[in-house]
Amino acid sequence: MSDNEYVKIFTCPKCGKRLSIDASKQFTAGRCPSCKKRIKIPKADGQK
């Protein structure tokens, strides 16, 4: 298995910064470290 299987990559809708998070964590929201906007973290493929 590659490391990419455990990383979720998405883009902040406000500033456009590419962000990544450990996909094994169950976060649903957080703050963009760049612009500080509160954002929803998209679910990984296959999650409900």
Residues 6+ apart with CB under 8 A from 37: 12, 13, 14, 15, 31
The domain spans of the chain are 3-40
pLDDT tens, position by position, 1-48:
454 467 889 999 999 999 998 888 778 899 999 999 999 988 765 555
pTM of the shown model: 0.68
d(CA 44, CA 33): 20
